[in-house]
Structure 1
């Protein structure tokens, strides 16, 4: 009898595993899935392998990916997607990732007295300054709720002479467009002291609030981001800011890149930042910065990388041009790192001295893959002017050959202190330079891609031959 029961359980398990299954690769990870059946949307539970059971119908099923605080993503998977097997992934390309965009809305909070400071209180007790009551605020629901299933967040109002008031607010009370909270009237803040003895203090407080309102504190003034203690700022650019940090438990020093707050609310910049994280996570080479992990904290995406102690090549060039003896080893390492990225079908697209870090030990390491692409598109001239290959300026897509040209421009500038013109004359500017190194750089700067080296691996070998 026990044997028959065992066979019956096994048969049921096999039957349960039957049918079509689909795995969605989506950020953030803890999302919910629903499938359209007729005019209704039915929730799709996921199994232990994070797979969704798909109805076995000839039609192409439609799905909705949902998460609290994010916009719903609706998509259709072609029925022919399962021709190669019952278990599939979406999107089909391994380097592609679906992205849910945060919900952004406008809200104005009203208190009595007006001008109270508004702070978001996270589940971990951290505080983030949002603005002042009576002023319209742009709210990121994903950051406010932290993606919680309940959709609640806590707001604390603070005003000079009043007791702090912490209020739980449900995100579903807000609608797209302009919102007012509370719906009518104002939230009264209890006075800390009787008013008449506090008149001088209130006057001073009004002056202090006026100064504070013109200097909105950054959310990154808090010393913690995820599992890391923020120690100091290392630098910043158009897309984000880089901090030196330490892991809270192991004490490991790292570098953390955080997307600017005004860009985190824009889906195009958010997708580019996540694409950079996904690309770097696949690269493992001593001359490419290594990504340790990436995630979000209160809606702010961040990228945790190894800490490369050193300075960028631009800093070295600001002092003086480099000699052939100092440049050749750095050029070999730079070509080696890019050759590895090209072998993984990744084009950097923004080769310049600012993106090459050199350590005290002489290690060269490429950073900032924010413009990198797996499949570059035509008519995209993203990059830094002066380092763009002639074919890029003519509208051709980025390629390993255009990265090679940009590396040649970097080498030319490092030796001469200036960018090459339409006809580079390295031999005239540096007549005492090693003829072999001059020949390698001149070939990298060839106008036509076919006249350059077949790959940066060949450039690396040519440089080694002259050392």
Structure 2
């Protein structure tokens, strides 16, 4: 409970228009809870289910999520469960990050956080309480291996979300959860096609965001948003 309060308090301190505000937290009937801002709109999962996003729209949403994550990371908070279900697209087309229930507070000056339990071969694609911290399909290699997490863990998940928005499929798939875990750990994502415009730059951005080793990824969410190739993608689509 002490850790929950500490981490919930940290999440409540994140102030950014792209983050659903945490109003209250506590315990009731032996369960922890977070009271969060109600955000009107559709989850990104619902959006993807009903329409195909243009590459420009996908890049714009990813940029907004990166800005929200940057604000959280500056407060020492790592989300740990970035996925389409935890991103709401408002009626104005703005992205808002929800559900810091799995968030991890990093100590002052700390670049990495707590260890996560390794994902078992039989894990489902949904969160498995007590076994893994996150959703397998969007978990980084270090999360699956039970290693320490940091800001680059969230950026890996965001890379997976951007890939899915553009390609209409996840970057790593398998017939079974075990196959999917193996793909995340060992396979590279198939190249995406941006209709001939900025395809090369977009694939470089995705390849760096989804690098197996954190040292090869973007160091910060701000760096991700300012990446030359990423900027080139946006300019090519204007």
TM above 0.5, yes or no, is yes
Residue matched to 1:121? none
Residue matched to 2:81? 350
Q: How many angstroms apart in 2 are the aligned matches of 1:406 and 1:298?
A: 33
Instruction: Report the CA distance between 1:399 and its aligned residue.
Output: 1.4
Residue matched to 2:222? 457
Q: How many angstroms apart in 2 are the aligned matches of 1:388 and 1:302?
A: 23
Instruction: Report the CA distance between 1:348 and its aligned residue.
Output: 0.6
Residue 432 in 1 paired to residue 196 in 2?
yes
Distance 1:300 1:451, change over 3 A: closer
Conserved in 2, the CA contact under 8 Å of 1:324 and 1:434?
A: no
Q: How many angstroms apart in 2 are the aligned matches of 1:460 and 1:447?
A: 20
Residue 394 in 1 paired to residue 114 in 2?
no
Distance 1:294 1:386, change over 3 A: closer
Residue 377 in 1 paired to residue 81 in 2?
no
| TM-score between both structures, scaled by the size of structure 2 | 0.73
Instruction: Report the CA distance between 1:298 and its aligned residue.
Output: 8.0
Q: How many angstroms apart in 1 are the aligned matches of 2:39 and 2:156?
A: 26
Instruction: Report the CA distance between 1:295 and its aligned residue.
Output: 5.5
Residue 365 in 1 paired to residue 96 in 2?
yes
Distance 1:455 1:298, change over 3 A: closer
Conserved in 2, the CA contact under 8 Å of 1:443 and 1:453?
A: yes
Measured against aligned partners, the alpha-carbon deviations of 1:48-83 in whole angstroms (never above 9, x if no partner) come to xxxxxxxxxxxxxxxxxxxxxxxxxxxxxxxxxxxx
Residue 319 in 1 paired to residue 50 in 2?
yes
Q: How many angstroms apart in 1 are the aligned matches of 2:146 and 2:22?
A: 32
Greater helix percent: which structure?
2
Instruction: Report the CA distance between 1:464 and its aligned residue.
Output: 4.2
Query: 1:446 pairs with 211, 215, 219, which one?
Result: 211
Distance 1:433 1:317, change over 3 A: farther
Q: How many angstroms apart in 2 are the aligned matches of 1:298 and 1:446?
A: 42
Conserved in 1, the CA contact under 8 Å of 2:34 and 2:101?
A: no
Q: How many angstroms apart in 2 are the aligned matches of 1:290 and 1:416?
A: 31
Conserved in 2, the CA contact under 8 Å of 1:314 and 1:354?
A: yes
Distance 1:297 1:405, change over 3 A: closer
Conserved in 1, the CA contact under 8 Å of 2:198 and 2:232?
A: no
Q: How many angstroms apart in 1 are the aligned matches of 2:151 and 2:168?
A: 25
Query: 2:169 pairs with 399, 403, 418, which one?
Result: 418
| TM-score between both structures, scaled by the size of structure 1 | 0.39
Distance 1:284 1:425, change over 3 A: same
Conserved in 2, the CA contact under 8 Å of 1:336 and 1:457?
A: yes
Considering only aligned residues, what root-mean-square deviation do their CA atoms show, in Å? 2.4
SS at match of 1:286: coil
Instruction: Report the CA distance between 1:340 and its aligned residue.
Output: 1.4
User: Unaligned 5+ residue runs, structure 1?
Assistant: 1-96, 99-270
Alignment of 1:47-446 (within 5 A): 98=2, 272=4, 274-275=5-6, 277-294=8-25, 303-375=34-106, 376-380=113-117, 381-421=132-172, 422-427=187-192, 429-430=193-194, 432-435=196-199, 436-446=201-211
Q: How many angstroms apart in 2 are the aligned matches of 1:440 and 1:299?
A: 44
Count of residue pairs brought into register by the alignment: 197
Q: How many angstroms apart in 2 are the aligned matches of 1:385 and 1:405?
A: 13
